[in-house]
Each structure stands twice: as structure tokens, then as C-alpha cells.
Amino acid sequence: MKKITTLIVTMCITSICFAQGKKEVLLMIEAQNTTINSLNQQLSSLTAHQKKLEEQVKELQELVEDLKTLLAASRESEMINTGWTKRGEFFSGLAKVQDDNTSKYGFIDKTGKLIIPCEWTYAVQFNYYLNGLAAVKDNNGMWGFIDKTGKIVIPCTYKKIELRNEGMLAVQDDNDKWGVIDPTGKLIAPCIWMEVKRFQEGMAAVKDSDMKFGFINKFGKLVIPCKYSTVWDFEGGVARISVKKDSYKSDYYYIDKKGEFVRK
């Protein structure tokens, strides 16, 4: 009888130890899963941060190259005496000049030879930002673009032309509506917008006639409808927007490039 009792006690102790051991294993597995989830979240955050840093480095590298180009052009201009009294800086071998008699603008080469006749009421120097083109204004006060041979690439049909980042240009027509031209001079977004903001991550905010903002892409397509009272540029794949609740309050959200809400 004593042996049987001892056996039963031993079995009970073994069962209790097994149960405790199983519980400890489950707790250990749960702790490891928690650690793995935490590490995955940290990795995701670091990956997003790394992507943002890479974009910032790229922007800084482009800025450095632009500054190098401008510095080289400035030094080059200091060494060249073309005989023109009113002259801009050289870029890719051409510089803007103004005729003293007519006050019209044209372009010369490094020898002082007039390559593009002084027939424009105003001209913006050839430069990197305009994709190697020069913006010119005709006698009617309308803007267009010419290449380095003087050929008109974009006809003078716009009241205003403004840079909008990422090589894109905003243009305004006679009706004071804005559109977008890509770096090749092609009109990708017709002049139907009240406002076109700068491009960031391939997207630009536009304002419609109801004074609401949406977003277009670099093909001029409206990918996010105009329904927001205020918007900010895209950064890290998301853009901050506001939706008016009433005359005094607005709700703020973040949307992705499909226009879907990602967080508040």
C-alpha cells in the first residue's frame, strides 16, 4: 500500500512539473513572438527612415550639381569680354543679351556672335531648371520657349510660366487658368485649374473652380478627386489633408497616393 501511495504521489508531482513546464514554454513562445513583432515594427520604421534619408541625399546631390553648374558659368562669364554692355551669364555656351537700341533680348555665343536675334521683349537665361530651354516673351506679352538654335519649342501662348519642381512647369492661359507642361514641352494637364502647386514624389495638388484641392500625377491625370479644403505635399508616400467640419473646425488626416485614408 505504501508503494502504491508513493507511486501516485510521484505521478502527481510529475504531472504538475509537466504542466508547469508546458506553461513556461508557452510563456516563452509568447514572449518571443512579442519580441519578433517589436523587432519587425522597428525594422519597418528604420526602412521608412532610410528611404526618406536616401531621398534627401538625392535632393542634396542634385542641388550640389546645380550649384557647381552655376559656379562654373559664373567663373566662365568673368573671363569672357563679348563687347555687349547688358549680358547675362553663360550656360552651355550661350548668354542672354539686350540690344541697347531696341531693348529687345537675344543670345550670343562665347565669341560675342549673336546666335539668336534680339527680337524678344524679355528672356529668361538658358538653364538646367528649364530643361536646357529658354523662356521668352513676345511682343504681345505672352510666354513660350525656344531651344539653343532659336527654334520655338513651346509657342508663346501663355500669360505666365512658373517652375513646379521635378522638371515640371505650370502655365497660365488667357482665362487665368493653370495647366502643366512636362520637361519635353508637352502640355500634360490642360489649363483648367485655379492653382497648381509644386510636384513632390510625382504628385502635385490642384485646385478646381469650387476651391477644393485634389492631386494629379506627372501624366496630368487627376488621381485624387478635388474635395479637400487644404492639402500639403506628399512626403514618404503620404500627404496631410484637411476636411472642414463647419465654419470653424476642420479634421486632419493623412492619405496615400490612391487617396485612401491611412491615419488621422
**pLDDT at site 143:** 94
79 domain residue, yes or no: yes
Q: How many domains does the chain have?
A: 1
- What's the whole-model pTM score? 0.62
119 domain residue, yes or no: yes
Rounded CA separation 92/149 (Å):
12
Range of the domain at 52: 47-155
126 domain residue, yes or no: yes
Rounded CA separation 253/121 (Å):
47
Task: State whether residue 64 is helix, strand or coil.
Answer: helix
93 domain residue, yes or no: yes
φ, ψ of residue 207 to 5 degrees: the values are -115, 130
Rounded CA separation 208/177 (Å):
10
- Per-residue model confidence as pLDDT tens for the chain (264 residues): 555 555 444 555 555 555 556 666 567 767 677 777 777 777 777 777 777 777 777 777 766 666 666 565 554 454 455 667 778 888 888 999 999 889 999 999 988 899 999 999 999 888 766 777 889 999 999 999 999 999 998 899 999 998 888 889 999 999 999 999 987 778 999 999 999 999 999 999 999 999 999 999 999 999 999 999 999 999 999 999 987 776 677 789 899 999 998 876
